[in-house]
Structure 1
Amino acid sequence: MANSNIKPVTHVLFDMDGLLLNTEIIYEKVFQEVCLKFGKALTPEARIKLLGSTERRSCEICVNDLKLNCTVDEFVKDFRELSQQRLPNVDFMPGAERLVRHLHANNVPICVATSSGEESVKIKTQNHQEVFKLFHHITKGTDVKEGKPSPEIFLLAASLFEPKAEPLNCLVVEDAPNGVQGAISAGMQVVMVPGSLISEENRSKATIAIKSLEEFKPELFGLPSFKN
């Protein structure tokens, strides 16, 4: 699916969870386990709302939408304990490492704009420091007041490049509807790599939607193409 209004860009902003790193399958199991502990199963509707949300906002959605028999703080505590046990060994999503290395090697300014907090980012990236050091900066959910779908994190991330990047020159790469909406609200183009739960309506909001980063063609946005 593609938008005919594709324009060249100079900077690329990456989401992390479910886009660069294969964390969503881990998070889904953790959310499911904690929800079950407090009496309810995680529904597909709630699962979609969690995508791209900050940690605390995600926990609030579970507690409030499912009417769980616990406080948000109790849910957060259990969620963090399980996540910290399971996230250190997370792998890259298909095509992610290749794309990051390619853009960096061709002097394209890149950064991460993730809803994850500082401690969570540290845990998930600890075994992939060689790649994550290629990013100019990592903007985290704890750096902003409003999480995605607010455009705040994308606007902040763009401003931290040196010199700062104008939104119209930025391409966001996302997997979640909340992130896509935030990028659009920031005035940026978006490549979406949606999971199977994402509806056709949500996919259609992105500039283009692809099945995997292995399919991404940088030259569509005026970026250097892969050599092979």
Structure 2
Amino acid sequence: MLRKPVEAVLFDMDGLLIDTEAVYIDALQDAARDLGIEMSLDFCHSMIGISGRECDVMIQNFYGAAFRIDRFRERFSGHAKRRLDSHLPVKPGVVEMLDFLGGRGLRLAVATGSGRLTAERHLGKAGLIDRFAAVATRDDVENAKPAPDVYLEAARRLGVAPENCVAFEDSNVGLTAAHAAGTMAFMVPDILPPLREVRAKCLRVFEDLHEARRLLEESL
């Protein structure tokens, strides 16, 4: 199943390493209610895997030119911060996966659509940041996911060719980016299941990182 020798493993952050996506959806809907509007769950789901910068554009376009995206972003950030300051949950299987890969001497990196300050704060608070040799963020690249830029940047920072990297993603947008970068891409869905066209780009879809680790133990 692994087409090339594996030299490194690249991870998305939100929804894969850290259980933040549900928190962000709640914060989006709370911010909308603060401003006297409703934001549907379907619209929130359409932003999963999309960077904050691009989400702002989507929200502005959806609600129109008169919508105060700055006020919305302020309310959203406040709601999200209060929730995440009280509890920043790590997804099941993360620690065991990182222990296993580290024991095999593989280089590890994060390739996230979040900005650098958010990524470093969340990875640090979750006790994960020292596990990674590199962290590539939305701030480090020209194009956000589903473009491959952040995965290419993560591989570049590790000094490993993308085709010798395994990538783990939880979202359809992220998996599309990892596949476009030429990595050996796996999906561990968080909130949304893989689309048919995205599933075709995965080497495999796992229930969680425990299952993914067990397969890698047999393959590496």
Q: Counterpart of 1:37 in structure 2: which amino acid?
A: D
Any stretches of 5+ residues in structure 1 without a counterpart?
224-228
Q: Note if 1:188 corresponds to 2:183.
A: yes
Q: CA deviation at 1:69?
A: 6.0
Q: CA deviation at 1:207?
A: 1.6
* 1:138-168 superposed Cα distances (whole Å, 9 cap, x missing partner): 111111121100100000110001xx11111
State how 1:21-100 maps to structure 2 within 5 Å.
Answer: 21-67=18-64, 70-88=67-85, 89-100=87-98
TM-score w.r.t. length of structure 2? 0.88
Is the contact between residue 38 and residue 68 of structure 1 (CA under 8 Å) also seen in structure 2? no
How many residue pairs match? The answer is 215
Q: CA deviation at 1:47?
A: 2.4
Q: Note if 1:172 corresponds to 2:167.
A: yes
* 1:22-65 superposed Cα distances (whole Å, 9 cap, x missing partner): 11111110011112233443334322321111112123223323
Q: Counterpart of 1:122 in structure 2: which amino acid?
A: E
Match of 1:209 among 179, 188, 205: 205
When residues 69 and 78 of structure 1 are mapped into structure 2, their CA distance, relative to the original with a 3 A threshold, is: farther
Q: Counterpart of 1:84 in structure 2: which amino acid?
A: K
State how 1:135-174 maps to structure 2 within 5 Å.
Answer: 135-161=132-158, 164-174=159-169
Query: Cα RMSD between the aligned structures?
Result: 2.0
Q: Give, in whole Å, the separation in 1 of the partners of 2:9 and 2:206.
A: 16
Any stretches of 5+ residues in structure 2 without a counterpart?
none
Is the contact between residue 116 and residue 140 of structure 1 (CA under 8 Å) also seen in structure 2? yes
Q: Give, in whole Å, the separation in 1 of the partners of 2:108 and 2:73.
A: 31
Q: Counterpart of 1:109 in structure 2: which amino acid?
A: R
Q: Give, in whole Å, the separation in 2 of the partners of 1:196 and 1:204.
A: 19
Match of 1:218 among 193, 216, 219: 216
Secondary structure at the counterpart of residue 131 of structure 2: coil
Q: CA deviation at 1:66?
A: 4.9
Is the contact between residue 162 and residue 181 of structure 2 (CA under 8 Å) also seen in structure 1? yes
Is the contact between residue 35 and residue 62 of structure 1 (CA under 8 Å) also seen in structure 2? no
Percent identity of the aligned residues? Answer: 27
Q: Give, in whole Å, the separation in 2 of the partners of 1:101 and 1:44.
A: 36
Q: Give, in whole Å, the separation in 2 of the partners of 1:68 and 1:37.
A: 19
Q: Give, in whole Å, the separation in 1 of the partners of 2:88 and 2:62.
A: 28
* 1:85-125 superposed Cα distances (whole Å, 9 cap, x missing partner): 22232111000111012111221111111111122123323
Q: Note if 1:16 corresponds to 2:13.
A: yes
Q: Counterpart of 1:55 in structure 2: which amino acid?
A: G
Q: Counterpart of 2:48 in structure 1: which amino acid?
A: L
